[in-house]
Amino acid sequence: MAQIACQNLTLKYDGKVILEDLNFTVRAGDYLCIVGENGSGKSTLMKTLLGLHAEYEGKLETGDGLLASEIGYLPQQTIVQRDFPASVREIVLSGCQGRCGFRPFYTKEEKNLAKRNMERMGVLEFERRCYRELSGGQMQRVLLARALCATQKALLLDEPVSGLDPKVTVEMYQLIARLNREDGITILMVSHDIAAAVKYASHILHIGETVFFGTKQEYLASGVYRKFYEAEV
Amino acid sequence: MLVELFAKIAWYLQYPFVRYALIVGVLIALCSSLLGVTLVLKRFSFIGDGLSHTAFGAIAVASVLNLQNDMVFVLPATIVCAVLLLRTGKNAKIKGDAAVAMISVGALAVGYLLMHLFSTSSNLSGDVCGTLFGSTSILTLTRGEVWLCIVLSVLVVGFFLFFYHKIFAVTFDEDFARAGGTNTGAYNLLIAIIIAVIIVLAMNLAGSLLISALVIFPALSAMRVFKSFWSVTVCSAIVSVCCALIGMLAAILAGTPVGATIVVADIAAFAAFYLAGGMMAK
C-alpha cells in the first residue's frame, strides 16, 4: 500500500493545464526527488500534494496510515520571515499547531516533542535566540525541526539547500538522508540539484516536456536524464 | 514644579469625563497594539489605514441617516469592508494595495460629499476635521459608550489570548499552517474582524487618519529591541498604553488635540527604541 498515489493527475493553474497525466506512487521509506526545469510545474505539484492547491483532475490519494495533513513541510524562506521577531522555540513549537484543533495552548507532551526535535536537529542551544539572526543552515534546521513536530511519517522539502554554501549543503543532505535511513521518514524533495538528487534519492520524478518516474537506477539509464544532464553541464 | 503638575492631574481626575476618557483611551491603546505585530508582519499595515477611511465614510452615512447611535451602522459596515479587503488581497484581479487605495479614497470622497450635501450641522468643516483627526468626543463619552468600549476591549483581548498560538502560526507561515490542517482562512477572517472592531473603537480617540499610527508604531518600536513574538507583543502593549496615557494627560494639560498628541508620544517612543536597538546591535 502506497503512502501517496497519483493516477492520471492533471494539474491546472488559473484554468490552464500545467502538467498532464502524471502517475507515480510513494511508499513508506522512499526518498523521492522531484526534478525538472523552471516553470515545469514543480511547485504547483508540491502545493497540490500538500492540499494547498485544489485545481486538479485525476486521483490523488494518501494511504498507509498517512493523512494529507500529516505531510511535514519545509517551505522556502518567505520575505515575511526575514524580519520576523520570533524565537527558535516559538517557531518549532508552532509545528504542533496542526494537532491542537481548537485547544488554545500547547500541552506538556507537545513542548517535549518540540524540545526533542530541536535536539535532533542540533538547534536546542539556540532555543531562545532570534530566528532572523541565525545563519542560513541553522534556519533550515529550525524549520526542519518544526516540520518534524508536524509529522513522523513524511516530509516534503522545497529546495532545502537553496542559498546555502557548499559545506552546509552537504551537511543538510546528510541530515535529510539520516532522517530517511534511521527514522524511516519518507522524503519528497523538490530540487534543482540533479547531481545530489541521483546521489541521495531512491526514486526520481522528472517533470517537464518528458515525464519520467522510476527508481534512480532506471532514471540514470534513461534518455531523460542524459538529455537533462547534458543541458545542465 | 512636578508636584504642581501632579496636583493639576489629580484635580482633573475628579471629573468623571476625564476618568472615562483615560479608561477608554488605555483600553483602545491596548487593543490596537495587540494585532499591530501581526499586521506589520503580514504586510497588512495598509489595511488598517484603508479601513479607517472606510469607517469615515460609514460615519458620514450614519450621520446623514440621522442614526442615534452610529456604532450600529459603522461597526458592521467596517467589518464587511475588512473581509472584502482581505479577500481582494488574496486572489487579486486588482492587486491588494491598489484595491485598498481605491476603497479608502473612494470612501473618503463619498463620505465627505454626503456630509456636504446632507449635513444639517452649522459647523461642517469642524465635524469633518473632528472625524479625520480625532475630536474632543473622547471627553464627552457617556457611561453607556464607556461600557460598550470595555466590553469590546475585553472581547478583543480575550480572542487574542485564546487564539494567540494560532495567530502566531498563521502570521509566521501561512502555507505551513494550512498544510498542517489549520484553517487559515478562518483565522484570517477573525483577524480582519478584530481589526475592524479596533478601528471603529479607536475612531473616537485618534480620528480616522491617525488610527494606523496607534496600530503600527508600538509594534515597530518593540520590534527594534525585542526578539521573540511574545516579548514583542507584550512590549508593544506596554508602549502603546504608556504613550496613550502620557499623550492624553499632556493633551488635557496643554489643551492640544488628543489624537495627535498620542501619536507624537508614539513617534517619540519609536525614536527611543530605534536608538536603543541600534546601540544593542553594536
| pLDDT computed for residue A222 by the predictor | 81
Closest-CA distance, A75 to chain B, in angstroms, reads 7
Q: What is the pTM of this model?
A: 0.85
Q: Across the interface, do B177 and A98 touch by the CB < 8 Å criterion? A: yes
CA distance linking residue B109 with residue B102, whole number of Å: 11
Based on the structure, what is the number of domains in chain B?
Answer: 1
Residue labelled with grid coordinates 544532464 = A229
Q: Across the interface, do A86 and B228 touch by the CB < 8 Å criterion? A: yes
The neighbour count for residue B201, using CB atoms within 10 Å, is 22
CA distance linking residue B118 with residue B126, whole number of Å: 15
Nearest CA in chain B to A49: B179
A62 & A166 share domain: yes
How high is the ipTM of this complex?
0.86
Could you tell me if B26 and B201 are in contact, meaning their C-beta atoms sit under 8 angstroms apart?
no
The pLDDT confidence band at residue A174, using thresholds 50, 70 and 90, is very high
Q: What would the grid cell of residue B151 be?
A: 466590553
Could you tell me if A171 and A200 are in contact, meaning their C-beta atoms sit under 8 angstroms apart?
no
Nearest CA in chain A to B170: A94
| pLDDT computed for residue B71 by the predictor | 74
Q: Which residues of A60-94 are buried (b: 16+ CB within 10 A; e: fewer)?
A: bebeeebeebbbbbbbbbeeebeebbbbbbbbbbb
A93 & A127 share domain: yes
| pLDDT computed for residue B92 by the predictor | 47
Based on the structure, what is the number of domains in chain A?
Answer: 2
Residues 157-176, chain B, touching A (beta carbon < 8 A): 161-166, 168-169, 171-173, 175-176
Could you tell me if B86 and B239 are in contact, meaning their C-beta atoms sit under 8 angstroms apart?
no
Nearest CA in chain A to B179: A50
User: Per DSSP, what are the bridge partners of residue A102?
Assistant: none
Best residue in B45, B173, B188, B230 to probe A by mutation, most A CBs within 10 Å? B173
* Among A226, A84, A199, A124, CA closest to B40: A84
A172 & A146 share domain: no
Q: Which strands form A4-13's sheet, in the order they lie side by side?
A: A16-26, A4-13, A56-62
Q: Across the interface, do A97 and B229 touch by the CB < 8 Å criterion? A: no
pLDDT tops 70 at residue A163: yes
Could you tell me if A188 and A26 are in contact, meaning their C-beta atoms sit under 8 angstroms apart?
yes
* Among A194, A189, A196, CA closest to A222: A194
Q: How many CB pairs under 8 A join A and B?
A: 96
* Among A154, A103, A206, CA closest to B163: A103
Give all strands (DSSP E) within chain A, no chain letters: 4-13, 16-26, 31-36, 56-62, 71-74, 154-158, 186-190, 203-207, 212-215
Share of chain A above pLDDT 90, in %: 23
A142 & A174 share domain: no
Best residue in B170, B171, B172, B174 to probe A by mutation, most A CBs within 10 Å? B172
Picking from A91, A125, A152, the residue at the C-terminal end of a domain is: A152
What range defines the domain where residue A180 resides? Answer: 1-66+161-233
Closest-CA distance, A136 to chain B, in angstroms, reads 17
Share of chain A above pLDDT 70, in %: 97
| pLDDT computed for residue A70 by the predictor | 82
Q: Across the interface, do B182 and A128 touch by the CB < 8 Å criterion? A: no
A31 & A10 share domain: yes
Q: Across the interface, do A71 and B226 touch by the CB < 8 Å criterion? A: no
| pLDDT computed for residue A161 by the predictor | 87
> Comparing A93-102, A171-180, A218-227, which segment has the lowest mean pLDDT?
A218-227
pLDDT in tens, A55-94: 888 888 888 778 777 888 888 887 777 778 899 999 999 9
The pLDDT confidence band at residue A52, using thresholds 50, 70 and 90, is confident
- Pick from A69, A84, A146: which is nearest to B41 by CB? A84
Nearest CA in chain A to B168: A94
Q: What's the mean pLDDT in A34-44?
A: 83
Q: Across the interface, do B172 and A86 touch by the CB < 8 Å criterion? A: yes
Q: Across the interface, do B228 and A87 touch by the CB < 8 Å criterion? A: yes
Picking from A152, A182, A208, the residue at the C-terminal end of a domain is: A152
A172 & A148 share domain: no
Q: Across the interface, do B228 and A128 touch by the CB < 8 Å criterion? A: yes
Q: Across the interface, do B169 and A50 touch by the CB < 8 Å criterion? A: no
Picking from A108, A131, A152, the residue at the C-terminal end of a domain is: A152
Nearest CA in chain B to A101: B182
Could you tell me if A37 and A224 are in contact, meaning their C-beta atoms sit under 8 angstroms apart?
no
- The answer to whether B255 contacts chain A (CB < 8 Å) is no
Check residue B66 and give left, alpha or beta (phi > 0: left; psi -120 to 50: alpha): left
Backbone angles phi, psi at A73, to 5 degrees: -125, 130
Closest-CA distance, A230 to chain B, in angstroms, reads 35
Nearest CA in chain A to B164: A104
What range defines the domain where residue B18 resides? Answer: 2-281
CATH number, residue A219: 3.40.50.300
How many separate helices (H) and strands (E) can be counted in chain A? 9, 9
- The answer to whether B179 contacts chain A (CB < 8 Å) is yes
Low-confidence stretches of chain B (pLDDT beneath 50): 92
Residue type, B25: G
A81 & A145 share domain: yes
| pLDDT computed for residue B82 by the predictor | 83
CATH number, residue B233: 1.10.3470.10
| pLDDT computed for residue A57 by the predictor | 84
Q: What's the mean pLDDT in A199-207?
A: 89
A46 & A114 share domain: no
Could you tell me if B52 and B103 are in contact, meaning their C-beta atoms sit under 8 angstroms apart?
no
